[in-house]
Structure 1
Amino acid sequence: MTDIEIWIVILSIWLATFIARSGFWLAGNRINLPQRVQEALRYAPACALAAIIVPDFLMNPNLANHWDFSWHNPKLMAGIAATVFFQLRKNMLQTIIFGMVVFTALRLL
């Protein structure tokens, strides 16, 4: 790609992002979403986060990006351990530290 094509792509992506994110802000109170849609949108951040994290836990780059549900997958085991830890302690910072310690220990073993 030439420099001008790269800048066109960057500006196009910027414009698309600006339009998508400012649509509701510019419309203000003129648009009212139905209550059912508003309730469904509450789960959008959790769904987006799950869509990013779950493939990272389950894909193994050493196996040509195949799913890896085995006990030998350190990311998956650390994720399960961190989930259990969070359910017991309800502290996000401790959960992050615990998950990283477990992941590092499993990876080094």
Structure 2
Amino acid sequence: MSTTTLLWVFIVAGMATYLIRLSFIAVEGRVRLPAWFRTALQFVPAAMLSALIAPDLLMRDGNLYLSPLNARLVAGLVAIVIAARTRSVGWTIAGGMAVLIAMETLI
């Protein structure tokens, strides 16, 4: 793929992303969205974050890896517990990273 083609792909993808996001901002207040749709929109950030993180925690070399030796999975579970108890982003990141580094060092 040539550099020019790649540049155009980036430009078009960026414009498409911008227009999609702008569409929600532009129609705010002008269009009355159904209550079920507004309720569903509240779950989009959590669903997207889960879709991005879950494969990294659960997969290794393209295979499902559910084991107590899976450092990323254990660190992720510890981070979930810390987040649920403290509601602190800092403690969640620090605790999860500490467990991940410790397990990767020991294993």
**The two structures share one fold, judged by TM-score above 0.5:** yes
Q: What is the total number of aligned residue pairs between the two structures?
A: 106
Shift of 1:32: 1.2
1:80-95 pair list within 5 angstroms: 80-95=77-92
Q: CA RMSD in A?
A: 1.3
TM-score normalised over the length of structure 2? 0.90
TM normalised by structure 1 equals: 0.88
SS at match of 1:30: coil
Q: Which runs of 4+ in 1 moved over 4 A?
A: none
Gaps of 5+ in 1: none
The aligned runs of 1:94-105 (5 Å cut-off) are 94-105=91-102
SS in 2 for 1:71: coil
> CA distance change for structure 1 residues 90 and 28 in 2, over 3 Å: closer, same or farther?
closer
- Residue-by-residue CA offset, 1:47-79 (whole Å, 9 max, x unaligned): 00000011110111xxx3211001110000111
Note the residue ranges of structure 2 that are not aligned, 5 or more in a row: none
Taking a change above 3 Å as real, the CA distance of residues 87 and 28 of structure 1, as seen in their structure-2 partners, is closer
Taking every aligned residue pair, what percent have the same amino acid on both sides?
A: 32
Whole-angstrom CA distance in 2 between matches of 1:104 and 1:58:
17
